[in-house]
Chains A and B, each alone.
Chain A
Amino acid sequence: MLVIKDLVKTYPSGVQALKGVNLELSPGVFGLLGPNGSGKTTLMKIVATLLDPDSGTIEMNGADLINRKDHTREMLGYLPQDFGLYPTLTAWQMLDYLAKLKGVTNRKERHSLVDALLERVNLGAERSQRLGEFSGGMRQRFGIAQALIGEPQLIIVDEPTAGLDPEERLRFHNLLSETANENTVVILSTHIVSDVSNLCTRMAIIRQGKILSACSPRQVVDELKESVWEGTVPREQLSAFKSEFNVISSRTFDGDARVRVISKAQRPHGEFTQATPVLEDYYFDLVNRQN
């Protein structure tokens, strides 16, 4: 169990990135959902020991992660949002290097581990290729491989599916689901709602450094059943419509506004039809209520 308590972080520029974050994460894949600048990456960096908070604590099974960084790094697998690689090393050489830093000293065991990891992320054939020649997707897969070294108990993946094609994205979902067992906490930070729907048993929505909600994706979507409506409104009437109903999204279509509305009590308009609720509906409803 990973417990985050009262985490506060203000950058020297004065930007308050985290304003007292509290979370409890049990083993499994936990989704952290939020727009850019919401504090996701700051939170990820603090948990990954790369940034110190101003105050607050993080504990994993009772062990202090902030003040015992060496211990934390031994059980950590981290895939940053934006990372680079040594361009002149081959994939095998760099993964071997990172495995050594991780403490895999047994040569035979390490080589076997590196080979297996490269195979897992579908880079077995490119093991001798220089990393400088890798495409964006290949680098991302390499990043995933290095995060899995040493069977980490805490895996942090920050925007992991960016740059992956649909097939690789699905493979990554599968890999992550497999990795998350009864002993492993996986934190998936993302802005892609479908990644959270597909992978996470629990999730939190973070915005402007605050946790707006910590919940189960399936449960919150279930709660919206028979409350989401979709229909078309003339563009000139959109403002008036918005003031009357809880419009969660609108887009222009064929000259009119196509809107999505949450309304539990009544059908907003005669031509509106009931829509299948999705996680985005919950998110925007939450944000609208906060605003």
Chain B
Amino acid sequence: MSTRFHTSFAAVFTNEVLLSTKRVAPYVLIVLFAANKVLWWAKGPAVGLGWATNSVFNITRDYTGFCFLLGLPIFTGIFMGDPIVRDFRLGVDPLIFSKPIGRAAYILGKFFGNFFVLVVCQSAFAVTAFLLQWVPFSGMVVLPVRVVPFVTHFIIIVVISHLMLGAIYFAAGTLTRNAKVVYVIAASFYPVYVAFELLVMKNLPVVFRVLLDPLGFNTHRLQGMNAWDQTAEFLNAYVVTYDLTAYVNRVSMVVIAAILLFIVYRRFTIAPLNEASHFTGLKLSSAPERLAYAAPSGGFLDSGTYELTERDRIPLPQVTSTRSTFSKLLAALETEFRLLRAERSLLVLVVLVILLSIVNLPPYRMVPEVSYSVMFATNTANTLFVLLTGLIVFYTGETLHRERELKVEPIVWSTPVSNSVLLLSKYLAMVSLTLVLVLVVSLIAIGSQLLRGHTLEISAYVIVHGVLLVPGILFMTAFVVALNVLLRNKYVAYVIAVGTGAGLVYLYNLGYTHWLYNPLLYRIWTYPDLTTRPMLMKRLFCLGLTAVCLGLAHLFFERKTR
């Protein structure tokens, strides 16, 4: 390759790294991953079961979990989907493309620069694990200090898996120049992956499971043995190896990433896309450093020299300004709906939510504990919780920061409208959108029940969705609104929201599920509970938290009213 390629590639690569060092998100991720590793180390199953924390078995087990949990696939999307879109969004593209830079150098520099930063963040988990070998902990088994397994398995399991995922996000973001498409893909990763594992992989022979798994979950399994049936001594001495199929899997992930980058290389264009008109940002030429001699200014305008035309004489009606907050709220809400309706990515996501909800309906042969309607309502509620969390986190952030990104903020903020109207319109638009989705999915489940000839109990849907989903949606949306207002940076808000969610789910899975820090009641409810007085208290608590979040958002909203 030519020197020019190397120079350009190095320039783009280092610039991406430099830009990342000035963002908060990588540092937050590093802390999050390191803290989680400490948590897994101190509270994970290794201590109780006598597994050596630095055994190869435990290292690969932790890496596999890390690769999937903690929202890592979503963080990969946030890192890898945006680099090229950002240049177009910031209007830097003409400055870059007017220089003699090759397409390959630009694309590869962008991709690998950001992927390098992502790997550095991920390595916080591995480095923490490595350092913890020297930390004494009561009752913990530690083998002699080792280095190589921490590195090799990290590369094979974590880096290669996310290289392929990163290439998918990068290709989607670059070719559509729409970060929201990336968010949709990221948000749908978990449901799609789980559905793929359950519906496709589960029924395949082991060799195909190893071959087709994008995250390499099956590449280092204990040759068909269940780890929970093995003794600690056996697992501590076990050497994880990869067979030929596993290597083929890993190599194919790298090849897929290369193919995607080649497609990006072939299809990438600097010309405006047709969709570009949907993302406006007025870029007036900024004023020069000196005063302009735009026209002779010696003479002074004689107003009489300009003859008024008919349209100049159109009288503007006298405006009677009222203080009707409600009508302003309705107007803002109407506009929010119009803007949400124009989101193509949202339409795709809505269809995806509906499809995945149908896929996750209970199979025919399953026998219900209470009734079919309760089982269907519970299943749809569980599926919707996962999907709607992604939708709420990403679209609430988009909605709240839209005015700033489109530079409409000075116009809207200088109107006599209260902060509560601006915030509530966005909050209510998101809540309404998600509630409509709940309704649509409920109707689909009801239709499915009717087709299967079940006895229908509408009350089961009303109780499960009304008591569980609705307060949960109200709370989650308010939480994300508050987070975005307080942090004033949607990317940091995404990281914190997803990180908090992932951390809480991990805690809940360890058995810490008290309702005081589990407002969504994850794993602590049964159908009969839903109509009891204690449940009412818990739901009121959830609504109270919602009010607190909205209050905080109002209090810390950047625009001042006084």
The chain B residue with its CB closest to the CB of A51 is B560
Q: A50-B410, A97-B331 are in contact. Are A151 and B318 (CB under 8 A)?
A: yes
Chain B residues within 8 Å of A, Cβ to Cβ: 277-301, 303, 306, 308, 311-312, 314-324, 327-328, 331-332, 334-335, 338-339, 342, 405-408, 410-418, 559-562
Give A117 to B312 CA distance when docked, in angstroms.
10
Residue A109 is within 8 A (CB to CB) of chain B in the complex: yes
Residue A39 is within 8 A (CB to CB) of chain B in the complex: no
Q: Is the CB–CB distance between A88 and B290 below 8 Å?
A: no
Residue A89 is within 8 A (CB to CB) of chain B in the complex: yes
Name A204-219 residues within 8 Å CB distance of B. 217-218
| Known contacts A81-B287, A82-B284, A195-B294, then 17 further A-B pairs from the complex at CB < 8 Å, ordered by chain A residue | A45-B410, A71-B416, A78-B411, A82-B282, A85-B406, A98-B415, A101-B412, A102-B415, A104-B320, A116-B314, A117-B316, A131-B280, A133-B277, A151-B316, A151-B319, A162-B284, A174-B303
Give A133 to B297 CA distance when docked, in angstroms.
34
Q: Is the CB–CB distance between A132 and B319 below 8 Å?
A: no
Select one of B315, B405, B417 contacting A116, CB under 8 A. Answer: B315
Binary contact readout A12-40 vs B (1 if CB under 8 angstroms, 0 otherwise): 00000000000000000000010111000
Name A173-207 residues within 8 Å CB distance of B. 173-175, 177-178, 191-199
Chain A interface residue bracket vs B:
35 or more
Give A103 to B57 CA distance when docked, in angstroms.
67
Residue A70 is within 8 A (CB to CB) of chain B in the complex: yes
Q: Closest CB of chain B to A62's CB: distance in Å?
A: 18
Q: Is the CB–CB distance between B413 and A50 below 8 Å?
A: yes
Select one of A82, A148, A177 contacting B316, CB under 8 A. Answer: A148
Give A91 to B406 CA distance when docked, in angstroms.
15
Give A140 to B280 CA distance when docked, in angstroms.
13
Residue A84 is within 8 A (CB to CB) of chain B in the complex: yes
Please give, as numbers and ranges, the residues of chain A lying within 8 Å of B322 by CB-CB distance: 103, 105
Name A229-278 residues within 8 Å CB distance of B. 276-278
The chain A residue with its CB closest to the CB of B281 is A84
CB-defined A-B contacts under 8 Å, sample of 28: A36-B289, A48-B410, A50-B410, A50-B559, A70-B416, A73-B415, A73-B417, A78-B410, A78-B411, A80-B411, A86-B408, A94-B335, A97-B334, A100-B327, A102-B321, A103-B328, A105-B327, A120-B314, A140-B284, A150-B319, A150-B321, A174-B312, A178-B312, A191-B292, A195-B294, A197-B300, A221-B298, A279-B297
Give A88 to B343 CA distance when docked, in angstroms.
9
Q: Closest CB of chain A to B561's CB: distance in Å?
A: 6
Residue A74 is within 8 A (CB to CB) of chain B in the complex: yes
Q: Closest CB of chain B to A161's CB: distance in Å?
A: 8
Give A48 to B560 CA distance when docked, in angstroms.
12
Name A110-130 residues within 8 Å CB distance of B. 112-113, 116-117, 119-120, 122, 124, 130
The chain A residue with its CB closest to the CB of B285 is A162
Please give, as numbers and ranges, the residues of chain B lying within 8 Å of A82 by CB-CB distance: 282-284, 286, 407
Give A174 to B313 CA distance when docked, in angstroms.
11
Residue A168 is within 8 A (CB to CB) of chain B in the complex: no
Please give, as numbers and ranges, the residues of chain B lying within 8 Å of A98 by CB-CB distance: 411-412, 415
